[in-house]
């Protein structure tokens, strides 16, 4: 455990406090791979990242088998976020909160639920309740005043419960209303207390650079959806552009689709999946914390795994 993981008294830092510390250095970029379930989160943790991102699109796909069309409810998203956040509480989780799931009262409830679930940060957007993925067309927005009321409600709850949870304000205004309107909305969200800005669907690197410049020194998040509305921007390029956070929502979901479909097609075609010899049941369970679970049993005096597994 490093000093970044502990308080002065030696107690573990809340994930939200750690996320704030990670964001405090203006020269650093926080890289967050998108995870969509417990297994993908475990893999990301084993690879080693400073923070994770729970994708709403991935949650809709994995939990509901549905497209990202506002079908995942607060209950769906909170339960998913709580499970992922508590796999390793030392690694902060940023989670999608869509629109906050209603008016200010609903947003306040949603924020409280996320805080109690262990989420370190979340983003709220300005789409209507029947929202869609930010990289699809035809998005509809609420008025700026409604958007700002969502941010104010989130900030208010954070203060009331003395949480360090990071509030990220996302606008989808660029697609329909243009750059100036998007900037106006983000500036209003900043004034309302949002910690980080999120301009969805940027269409060029020049525009990305301009947004960072126009809102400096406020931290900006880059949503890197490969093959989406935004041109491909690498981690190194994002760092050079001045972004402070970069999320990759499809970092696990897209490779999983390719691998799972390929394996199933091979099963149908050849009668076997043909996984590598190293992918034994034990190896896959070790990714999911088998050794840690056995250690808990042993330290508590249990004997269930004394003879091994």
Q: Which of 20, 152, 170, 185 is catalytic?
A: 170
Spatial distance between the Cα atoms of 74 and 195, rounded to a whole number of angstroms: 22
What does each C-alpha distance from 135 to 35, 68, 100, 153, 169 come to in angstroms? 18, 10, 19, 26, 17
- 96 tagged catalytic: yes
Q: Which of 78, 80, 101, 223 is catalytic?
A: 223
- 68 tagged catalytic: yes
Do residues 145 and 132 make contact, with C-beta atoms less than 8 angstroms apart?
A: no
Q: Which of 96, 113, 126, 172 is catalytic?
A: 96
Q: Which of 37, 88, 126, 133 is catalytic?
A: 133
Q: Which of 20, 42, 53, 152 is catalytic?
A: 53
- 5 tagged catalytic: no
With tokens 């060029």, the residue in question is 204
Q: Which of 78, 123, 150, 152 is catalytic?
A: 123
Q: Which of 36, 42, 80, 125 is catalytic?
A: 125
Q: Which of 37, 98, 164, 172 is catalytic?
A: 98
Q: Which of 37, 68, 126, 172 is catalytic?
A: 68
Spatial distance between the Cα atoms of 32 and 54, rounded to a whole number of angstroms: 9
- 126 tagged catalytic: no
Contacts of 218 (CB under 8 A, 6+ apart): 190, 196, 197
- 123 tagged catalytic: yes
Q: DSSP assignment, residue 64? A: I
Q: What are the catalytic residues?
A: 53, 68, 96, 98, 123, 125, 133, 170, 200, 223
């Amino acid at each position: 455990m490093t000093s970044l993981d502990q308080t002065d008294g030696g107690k573990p830092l809340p994930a939200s406090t750690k996320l704030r510390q990670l964001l405090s250095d203006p020269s650093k970029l926080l890289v967050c791979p998108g995870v969509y379930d417990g297994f993908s989160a475990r893999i990301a943790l084993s690879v080693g990242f400073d923070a994770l991102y729970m994708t709403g699109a991935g949650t809709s796909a994995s939990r509901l088998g549905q497209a990202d069309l506002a079908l995942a409810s607060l209950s769906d998203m909170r339960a998913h976020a709580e499970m992922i956040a508590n796999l390793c509480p030392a690694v902060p989780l940023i989670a999608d909160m869509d629109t906050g799931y209603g008016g200010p009262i609903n947003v306040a409830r949603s924020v409280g639920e996320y805080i109690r679930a262990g989420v370190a940060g979340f983003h709220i957007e300005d789409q209507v309740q029947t929202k869609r993925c930010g990289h699809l067309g035809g998005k509809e927005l609420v008025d700026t005043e409604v958007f700002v009321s969502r941010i104010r409600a989130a900030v208010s709850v954070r203060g009331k419960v003395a949480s360090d949870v990071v509030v990220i304000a996302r606008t989808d205004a660029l697609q329909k209303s243009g750059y100036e309107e998007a900037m106006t909305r983000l500036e209003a969200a900043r004034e309302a207390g949002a910690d980080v800005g999120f301009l969805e669907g940027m269409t060029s690197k020049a525009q990305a650079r301009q947004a960072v410049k126009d809102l400096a020194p406020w931290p900006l998040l880059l949503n890197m959806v490969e093959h989406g509305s935004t041109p491909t921007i690498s981690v190194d390029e994002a760092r050079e552009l001045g972004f402070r956070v970069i999320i990759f929502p499809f970092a696990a979901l897209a490779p999983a689709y390719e691998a799972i479909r390929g394996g199933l097609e091979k099963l149908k075609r050849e009668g076997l999946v043909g996984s590598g010899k190293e992918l034994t049941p034990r190896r896959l369970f070790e990714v999911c914390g088998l050794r840690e679970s056995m250690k808990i049993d042993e330290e508590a005096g249990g004997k269930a795994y004394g003879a091994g597994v």
